[in-house]
Amino acid sequence: MPSPEPKLICCNVSKIFGSGAREFMASAKADISAEALASAGLVGAVRNVDLEVRSGEIFVIMGLSGSGKSTLVRCLSRLIEPTAGEILFNGENLLAASDSRMIEIRRHQMGMVFQNFALLPHLTVLANVAFPLEVQGIDRSTREARARKMIELVGLSGKENAFPRELSGGQQQRVGIARSLAVEPELWFLDEPFSALDPLIRREMQDEFMRLQSVLKKTIVFITHDFDEAIRLADRIAIMKDGAVVQAGTPEDIVLNPATAYVAEFTRNVPKAKVVRVASIMRQANGAMPNGAATVQAHATVSEAAPVFGDNSEHLGVVDGDSQPVGVLHRADVVDLMMRG
């Protein structure tokens, strides 16, 4: 199956802080190493980043604090002006767009959720979710009807008249998610949206996020510093270090084939069973499924498939998204992978 078309393309994007940054970029050509920037008294928050985000995928950008991931996502939405490069959204160069055009794009085609929930404390849940639609000039009955739909979608029915101070942290984050979805965005930016939550609530919100994505099929750019969160949510991951992307690929590619020593160290403690897909270790079905065998999806991870084996079963049938048989998963292969890390 061919890959979906890119929704967002980022070409040689850089954000350099300091006096004379643009002049330096014009004269430095390809040399914007951290050392060259430091010698010029500049800071390279983002350096020569090339990325493609495909329609309908969850693209995770991750790295340690100070790696440039949050600056990059703000450049992609032009909340911060890049120093150089090109950003194409549906084929339109955002860096050539006027301020009024960018406001229109953000209001109607982009949704954003940040670590700080940023709810308006004097407004109810319903009014908070409807607020961006009010800014668009949509009439009250229409915007409240859409807001109620989003509130139901994130599991907060019955809380429409509550104020933010009356909600838990997880509930407040759901309101923030509902508000960003109310504009029905084509492209959804989430910058460490769950990092301020307690671990159990965070896991719950990840589950809720995946449920929403299974329904909405949004194109998502998700920022995190947590590799467990990244491999749980991502279709593809880009790892950043010192403002540059050092590797991009599927979670499986990055863990099994790290491109640099930094990526290898970053992923060293990740159990392979958490990232290797069933499709990677299944054997051919040869047209027949094991009699009475349970089935798993080919895109499931090995760690998700392992509990499906019964006490006495040695095989699982593997099916595709249309429930058609595509292979057989052997218990021995699962055990071998898990024993190897």
208 token code pair: 């809720």
Q: Which fold has domain 55-80+98-271?
A: Rossmann fold (3.40.50)
In three-state secondary structure terms, 334 is: helix
- Residue 291 has what pLDDT? 65
- In the predicted model, is pLDDT for residue 241 greater than 90? yes
Q: Going along the chain, which residue ranges are E strands?
A: 6-17, 43-54, 58-62, 84-89, 92-93, 110-114, 187-191, 219-224, 236-241, 244-249, 295-297, 315-319, 325-330
86-122 per-position pLDDT tens digit: 999 999 999 999 999 999 999 889 988 887 778 999 9
For 208, list phi and psi in degrees, rounded to 5.
Answer: -65, -40
Angle between helices 140-153 and 125-135 (to 10 degrees): 130
* Spatial CB neighbours of 52, under 8 Å, sequence gap ≥ 6: 6, 8, 9, 10
Q: DSSP label at 307?
A: G
Report which residue type is found at 236: R
When pLDDT is cut at 50, 70 and 90, the band that residue 136 belongs to is confident
- Residue 287 has what pLDDT? 58
When pLDDT is cut at 50, 70 and 90, the band that residue 1 belongs to is low
Distance, in Å, from the CA atom of 273 to the CA atom of 312, rounded to the nearest integer, reads 21
Distance, in Å, from the CA atom of 187 to the CA atom of 220, rounded to the nearest integer, reads 6
More confident residue, 116 or 20: 20
Judge: domain 274-339, CATH 3.90.1280.20.
yes
- Residue 25 has what pLDDT? 83
- In the predicted model, is pLDDT for residue 293 greater than 90? no
**Could you give the percent of the chain with pLDDT greater than 70?**
96
Average pLDDT of 195-216?
83
Q: In the chain, where does the domain assigned CATH 3.90.1280.20 lie?
A: 274-339
Query: In the beta sheet, which residues pair with residue 86?
Result: 11
What is the DSSP code string of 84-150? Answer: EEEEEETTEEGGGS-HHHHHHHHHHTEEEEESS----TTS-HHHHHHHHHHHTT--HHHHHHHHHHH
Distance, in Å, from the CA atom of 6 to the CA atom of 187, rounded to the nearest integer, reads 11
When pLDDT is cut at 50, 70 and 90, the band that residue 32 belongs to is confident
Distance, in Å, from the CA atom of 36 to the CA atom of 47, rounded to the nearest integer, reads 12
Average pLDDT of 126-137?
92
333 token code pair: 């292969």
Distance, in Å, from the CA atom of 5 to the CA atom of 55, rounded to the nearest integer, reads 6
Where does residue 296 fall: left (phi above 0), alpha (psi -120 to 50 degrees), or beta otherwise? beta
Distance, in Å, from the CA atom of 303 to the CA atom of 301, rounded to the nearest integer, reads 5
